[in-house]
Amino acid sequence: MSGAGPRSRLPRWLFRIRTRLLLLNVIIVSVPVLGLGFARFYEREMLGAVETDMIHQAEVLREMLREDAAAGPEALEDYCHAVEHSIEFQVLFLQHLYGPAVRVVPILCGPFAKATHLGGRPEDDEGVRRVLDTLREIAEEHAERLVWIAGVDMAHIGRRYGDRIAARADEGPMVEVAALDRDRCRCLTAGDAGAFWSLLQRDGDPLRWCGASPLYTLMAAARPAQGALLHYEQWNIDPQSVVSCAALAFTR
């Protein structure tokens, strides 16, 4: 086949996206007021109809949660979403696959810190339980037309994160980290959220899985019957620190 096909253009296309997203993140972090305005402009120009639908769908979700909302952990606001990077590529990729009218509800999950460090399950907190129950009802009612996507990464090891070791991907202690990561992924792909959380709680999650709460939320809401680990990888975010990530696919 000719080298001028879509595959040959893909790396350049991805590089342009990464450059734009990097620019957006730098402006938001460095100049918050200008950054928020730029984020709005970026969303209008690049994400088209998705933003309006995000707001609409989020309003619907808020109405479902509005009883005792003031006492709960959920909130509908812009700032945390404006500075959070986890959804950026997923939305652009979905638009590339399905067109600009793809409908998205962004749900940003904070850490379930109490359940991580003090024991129990996240849903032992009444507010968390109410949110998970509502999402589960939505998942059951619209099972045929909903797809759940978790934009997460996993372990954070090395000097950047307070460890004494200088971590290198797939070398030394990171070989054991990979085995522990895979153990957790095995629980997820077995559809066993309880076993996953039990592994995570050991010693207060020394692997620092920042994707733990959205993954648990996905498991509690969609209740997948099984899954598969498609790919696992470790990456040196700097010469002494490593972040791990994986691609997992689930079915109900």
Instruction: Quick: pLDDT tens for 37-88.
Output: 444 544 554 455 555 555 555 555 665 556 544 545 555 556 666 666 677 7
CA distance 133 to 140: 11
Distant-in-sequence, close-in-space partners of 211: CB < 8 Å, separation ≥ 6? 150, 152, 153, 154
One-letter identity of residue 150: A
Instruction: Quick: pLDDT tens for 183-206.
Output: 999 999 999 999 999 999 999 999
Distant-in-sequence, close-in-space partners of 79: CB < 8 Å, separation ≥ 6? 36
Answer yes or no: are the C-beta atoms of 109 and 213 closer than 8 Å: yes
The domain ranges of the chain are 110-123+139-252
Determine the Cα angle at 192 with ends 132 and 115, to 5°: 55
pTM of the model: 0.73
